[in-house]
Amino acid sequence: MGNKGLINIETAARAEVDQKISAMREGGKILGNLLRDLKEYVKPGMTGKQIDAWVRQEIVKRGAGVAYDMLDEEFPGAICISVNDALVHGAPTDDVLEEGDKVSFDLDIYYKGYFTDSAFTMLVGGKGSPAVKKMIEVTEASMWEGIEQVKPGAHIGDIGQAVEKVLRKGHLGVIENYIGHGIGKTMHELPEVPNYGKKGHGYKLVEGDTICIEPMSALGKPANYIDKDSNWTVRMKDGSTGCHCEHTVLVTATGYEILTMPD
C-alpha cells in the first residue's frame, strides 16, 4: 500500500474519532443537564417508579434514546435507582422515598450512535446521617482524584490506585466486583476501569479514549449480592449503605475532558 492509501486510512480513522467525540460531547451534555435537573426534582414522598417515568420522558424530550431499553436482558426502567443498602443497578419500585434516604441514580443515554453514562448519590431532602453524608463526599472526592490521573500514557492502574487511596483513607468499604469501563458505540467496552489498582499497571490510555470512572463504596464491608426479587438490584450483605458516582471522561491530547458535566 502506498503513502496515499495510508493517509486515507488515517484520515478516515481520525474522522471517526472526531465524529465519536462530537456525538459524545452533545450526548454527555444532555445527560449532565438531565441529572442536574433530576437532583432538583427528587423530593420526599416520591416513588422510584414516578421518578423513572419522569426520567424516561425527559430523555426523549431532550432528543436522546433510553439506553436501558437496548440491553439484551430487559431492565425494568430508564434509570437505576439504588436506595439505602442498594449499591447499584437498582430497579425502580413503588416504594416511597423518605427524607434522609440515601439514593444513587445511574443513567446511560444513547445519542447519535453513542452512549454516555453518569451517576450521583444524594440524601433525599438534603438531610440525613452525617456518616452517609461523609461517605458521599469521600466517594465523590475519590472520583475526582481518579479523573485527575487521566492523560495520554497514563495507566488504568494509576486511576484505580488514586480512587482506592481516597476511599481507604475515608475508612470506606472498597467495592471490587463492580467497576468502570470504556464506552462508545456500546454501553460497556474495554478497557475495564477498576476502583483499585497499582500505579504503572494496566492498559495505557491514548488520546480519543472514552472511559467511565465510577467509584463505589460502602459504610460497612464491601460484600454484596443481587436481590432475587428484582434480579437486578445489588445490595450490601451486611445491610450497610452503598454509594456510587460516575462520569464519562475523554482522554485529550494534554489530559482529560469530562463529557457528562452539566452547563
CATH number, domain at 165? Answer: 3.90.230.10
Element (H, E) at 155: none
- Judged against a pLDDT cut of 60, whether residue 144 lies above it is answered with yes
Residue range 225-230: mean pLDDT, rounded: 93
Confidence of residue 7 (pLDDT cuts 50, 70, 90): low
Name the band, by pLDDT with cuts 50, 70 and 90, for residue 2: low
Domain annotation covers residue 263:
no
In a domain, 230, yes or no: yes
Q: Which domain holds residue 68?
A: 3-258
Quick one: what percent of the chain has pLDDT higher than 70? Answer: 95
Residue 55, domain member (yes or no):
yes
* pLDDT above 70 for 6: no
Does residue 188 or residue 11 have the better pLDDT?
188
State pLDDT tens for residues 66-78: 999 999 889 999 9
High-pLDDT (> 90) share of the chain, %:
91
Is 224 inside any structural domain? yes
Which residues lie below 8 Å from residue 195, measured CB to CB, with a gap of 6+?
A: 142, 146, 160, 163, 164, 167, 174, 175, 176, 179, 180, 214, 215, 216
Confidence of residue 14 (pLDDT cuts 50, 70, 90): confident
Alpha-carbon Rg for the chain in angstroms:
19
Instruction: Provide the mean pLDDT of the chain.
Output: 95
Query: What is the number of domains present in the chain?
Result: 1
The answer as to whether 67 is a domain residue is yes
What mean pLDDT do residues 85-114 have? 97
For residues 163 and 144, is the Cβ–Cβ distance under 8 A? no
The reply to whether 222 falls in a domain is yes
Q: Is residue 138 in a domain?
A: yes
Tell me the pLDDT band of 1, cut-offs 50, 70 and 90: low
pLDDT of 92 above 50 = yes
Is 84 among the domain residues?
Answer: yes
Q: What is the DSSP string of 21-77?
A: HHHHHHHHHHHHHHHHHHHHH--TT-BHHHHHHHHHHHHHHTT-EEGGGG-SSPPSS
Q: What is the pTM of this model?
A: 0.93
pLDDT score for 17: 84
Q: Residue 124: which of 70, 84, 164 has the closest Cα? A: 84
